[in-house]
Amino acid sequence: MVKRSIFSATLFLFATVTCLLIFQPPVMAGKIKLNYANFPPAPTFPCVQMERWKVEVEKRTNGQVMINTFPGGTLLGAKGMMDGVIAGQADIGNICMAYQPGRFIVTNATSLPLGIPDAKTGSLALLKLYEKYQPEAFKDVVVLTMFTTAPGNVMSKVPVRTLDDIKGLSLRASGGAAQILKAWGANPVGMPMPATVEALQKGTVKGLFSSLEVMKDFKFAEYCKYVTMTETGIYPFAVFMNKQKWNSLPADVQKIMMDLKEEQALWTGTYMDEQILKAIAWSKESNNVEFISFSAEEKTKWDSKLEFITENWINSANEKGLPAEEIIKDIKEFIQ
């Protein structure tokens, strides 16, 4: 009796294991799970590009890789992002390099007033610059893509038509963009984009300097009824993975991600440029925002105030032992 039940139990176990082996799918879905941290809210462009990347990676790996996305600073915030990814608190992270200008000297050179016309051009130029110089700042991570915003404009509660109007005006900006505002005589106030909502509500700033899709995505058009089309200065972004995590991935997965690097930069730049047009139309329609364009004469006045910024950057980068002139020359060439 005992023998028989042992026999049937063994048979049952054998049958179960055989079934499991036979019916196991060739690729175990979701075998590799990666956490991707992002600092701004889900509807904004850095998170839209994150969701696009997630979908593409999951599709191209046939579900072998699954990406869990964390928008809105729910896993890591804007300033702790890079160190958090290096420490393994998230596998992947997205940063705005302008928030740590001293840390990303080479790649932040793209935020100098060098005439990047749109986000598509800026994104490809930034990625090329990164690939050529492989800056030290990224030695502890693996870069998955880079992209930039479209050129910056002044969004404000009061109209800015002349340099007199911007004098002393508190406007939110970070990194290279803050230097541009300062050169025009404004009072730049540094903070990450998500903090800007409250600063505008409370009135600690009278506006901001950034790409115009934020008028719609953050509903800044409700506070800023004026936009001055300065069209200069971009914000550079980087997406990267923890190095140990990268080294643990199979070669075919690594290849799929590397093949996506430039494609994702192009996709994000193109998406951003489209969102800008939509945001301008929406701001006019929904909030009656006035868009102020310069006369040729006024534009020359504003541009001439910025000339020293690149010269200063070259001097200080040279002092740090970087090939500063070559970097600037390369950015200008990549833009063409």
Least Å distance between CB 93 and ligand 3IO?
14
| Residue ranges in the chain assigned as alpha helix (H) | 2-23, 45-60, 81-86, 105-108, 119-133, 163-166, 175-183, 193-202, 214-217, 243-247, 251-287, 296-304, 307-319, 324-335
- Give contact residues for ligand 3IO (rule: CB under 6 A): 40, 44-46, 96, 149, 174, 193, 210-211, 214, 235
Q: Are 145 and 265 in contact (CB under 8 A)?
A: yes
Least Å distance between CB 272 and ligand 3IO?
8
Least Å distance between CB 196 and ligand 3IO?
7
* Residue, CB closest to ligand 3IO: 210
Q: Are 289 and 225 in contact (CB under 8 A)?
A: yes
Least Å distance between CB 54 and ligand 3IO?
18
In the complex with ligand 3IO, the residue whose CB is nearer, 44 or 69, is: 44
Least Å distance between CB 96 and ligand 3IO?
4
In the complex with ligand 3IO, the residue whose CB is nearer, 253 or 282, is: 282
User: Using CB atoms within 10 A of its CB, is residue 219 exposed (0-12), middle (13-18) or buried (19+)?
Assistant: middle
Least Å distance between CB 258 and ligand 3IO?
25
Q: Are strands 92-96 and 32-37 parallel, antiparallel or unpaired?
A: parallel
CA distance 206 to 199: 9
Tokens 């986000």 belong to residue: 119
DSSP assignment of 23-59 equals H--SS-TT-EEEEEE-SS-TTSHHHHHHHHHHHHHHH
First to last CA, the chain: 86
In the complex with ligand 3IO, the residue whose CB is nearer, 35 or 275, is: 275
In the complex with ligand 3IO, the residue whose CB is nearer, 45 or 240, is: 45
Q: Are strands 152-156 and 207-210 parallel, antiparallel or unpaired?
A: antiparallel
In the complex with ligand 3IO, the residue whose CB is nearer, 74 or 318, is: 74
Least Å distance between CB 336 and ligand 3IO?
24
In the complex with ligand 3IO, the residue whose CB is nearer, 40 or 207, is: 40
In the complex with ligand 3IO, the residue whose CB is nearer, 204 or 254, is: 204
CA distance 37 to 34: 10
Least Å distance between CB 203 and ligand 3IO?
19
DSSP letter, residue 246 = H
Q: Are 322 and 136 in contact (CB under 8 A)?
A: no
In the complex with ligand 3IO, the residue whose CB is nearer, 242 or 268, is: 268
